[in-house]
Chains A and B, each alone.
Chain A
Amino acid sequence: DIQMTQSPSSLSASVGDRVTISCRASQTINTYLSWYQQKPGKAPKVLIYAVSRLQSGVPSRFSGSGSETEFTLTISSLQPEDGATYFCHQNFNGRTFGPGTKVE
């Protein structure tokens, strides 16, 4: 099984801050890495897929980078509506989600 870890598990930041969330896979997952945002009571929605491809309709302040086993989600200028939990996800072999990062 491929394990996914994320850091930090939670963070508190101010509007306008640059926020970075890290994700690590237990083995190489090529470009099969996505990032999801989930707000309370809602299903997750994809923000970034294939490491760095921005989903249609997602603000350009979200970006993704990384390779092999190390990946990053960056929010360049945090907005109030970005308060949510963020999960990384691999579908290189089966599917695994990271434990999540709660952004307040």
Chain B
Amino acid sequence: QVQLQQWGAGLLKPSETLSLTCAVYGGSLSGYFWSWIRQSPGKGLEWVGDISPSGRTDYNPSFKSRATISTDASENQLSLKLTSVTAADTAIYYCASTTGWRDFWGQGTLVTVSS
């Protein structure tokens, strides 16, 4: 069974860069779409972006080039960087592979942006 374990800094100051990593266990990173999805406290789900099996990335236009998703096949890991964070970026961030029947999610990482 595929399991996703994610980690990263949980407290950032405004203008800093959010950096999260997601390790894939029990399966390969290769050949699947991977996503970062976030959820602000008490709010709904917001798609950050995807990376395809070929490495092509697709982002939510709302992030205006601040987001970068990448993979490291040798480590079987997925990462997210989000630059110039503000309080509005405070959220639980999930890594996920969720397309059709394939539905795997990380445990979520709460990232708080506060001065």
Contact = CB atoms under 8 A, between A and B. Distances in A.
Do A and B make up one complex?
A: yes
Q: Mostly helix, strand, loop or mixed at chain B's interface? A: strand
Task: Indicate the member of B45, B60, B98, B101 with the most A CB atoms within 10 Å.
Answer: B45
Interface in A22-63: 34, 36, 38, 43-46, 49-50, 53, 55-56
Given A87-B45, A95-B35, A97-B45, A43 B106 contact: yes
Interface of B: 35, 37, 44-47, 50, 58, 60-61, 94, 96, 98-101, 103, 105-108
Nearest to B48: A95
Interface residues of A, number: 23
A97 B105 contact: no
A88 to B, nearest CB: 10
